[in-house]
Amino acid sequence: MVMTVVAATYIVVLRYTRTVLTEMYFATTAVCVTEVLKLILSLGMLRRDVGSFSGTLSSLNENILKSPKELLKLSIPSLVYAVQNNMAFVALSNLDAAVYQVTYQLKIPCTALCTVFMLNRSLSKLQWVSVFILCAGVVLVQWKPMETTKVQVVQNPVLGFVAIAIAVLCSGFAGVYFEKVLKTSDTSLWIRNIQMYISGIVVTAIGVYLNDGAQVMEKGFFFGYTHWVWTVVFLASLGGLYTSVVVKYTDNIMKGFSAAAAIVLSTAASVLLFGLKLTLSFITGTILVCISIYYYGLPKQNTSTLVQVEVEKPKELLVKV
């Protein structure tokens, strides 16, 4: 429930900050601050698992200072995630929150393909059918652009869709790459997160300098930040941690229900807050996407046939154990 509310609220509030606020903040600085907050939260979780401050410092010294190769390895998903997070700001500046939420589910087939090629896994027939249903649903959502009556900024839907496409590709690759790193070593999840977020801070700081360096020097790093912008940063940091918790303690079916529920909440909020006018194609496409998410998360069925053969055995061969 918490993950659903966090995911839906993050999308809606981010959309609000990019289309309603008068003083536009720098998206690159928001992404950088998010990485810093993720690092702080991960350090707190590591401290809880280790149980002592000295043990935490020893673990950090062993896995961070003495393992530069591991930091370099995790810099790859850090860079990809940085691009993905920046593309989310671009997309939500040009697309409604509900449209973004539905279209972003294309990360499922992208992740599936990366899983097949990078982890040598196979998908069931039901999962492949779900992927095609999801793609059909996204096509229906994008078929006829919807109007938002309460958004005054100029939007470019094509740019928004291109940004989502880039974010989807980044999400699929980075997620599978990170999973492969986790499962090919005994290093804890929080240490891997810390390694990735340290690299992420460096990468996003370079992004701030390259994209908005002059304006940041002129107006300040936190120019345009309001309590709504800080809410976006906090929700973005919290979302990743809650996803890990849900996957660890429940299963992919529950995660799928959460994603579908977040889509419904985002749509309802878009209608109320941004004056989104729903169309039949959007509603149909959204339903297809929600159905595909559910069926994709179902566990694989064992299709092997069990054949029972009765064999007559001489009584003298029966052994009582």
- Mapped onto helix, strand or coil, the DSSP state of residue 24 is coil
| Predicted confidence (pLDDT) at residue 146 exceeds the cutoff of 70 | no
Supply the angle between the helices 68-94 and 2-19 in degrees, to the nearest 10.
Answer: 60
Between 1-15, 88-102, 160-174, 238-252, the lowest mean confidence (pLDDT) is in 238-252
> What average pLDDT does the segment 37-66 reach?
89
- The answer to whether the CB of 30 falls within 8 A of the CB of 89 is yes
Residue boundaries of the structural domains of the chain: 2-299
- The answer to whether the CB of 276 falls within 8 A of the CB of 98 is yes
Burial profile 287-317: b = 16 or more Cβ within 10 angstroms, e = fewer: ebbbbbbbbbbeeeeeeeeeeeeeeeeeeee
pTM above 0.95, yes or no: no
- What is the tens place of the pLDDT at every residue in 186-235? 888 888 889 999 999 999 999 999 999 999 999 999 999 999 999 999 99
pLDDT at 308: 43
- Mapped onto helix, strand or coil, the DSSP state of residue 314 is coil
- What is the tens place of the pLDDT at every residue in 273-320? 877 788 888 889 889 988 988 888 777 665 444 444 444 444 444 444
| Predicted confidence (pLDDT) at residue 37 exceeds the cutoff of 60 | yes
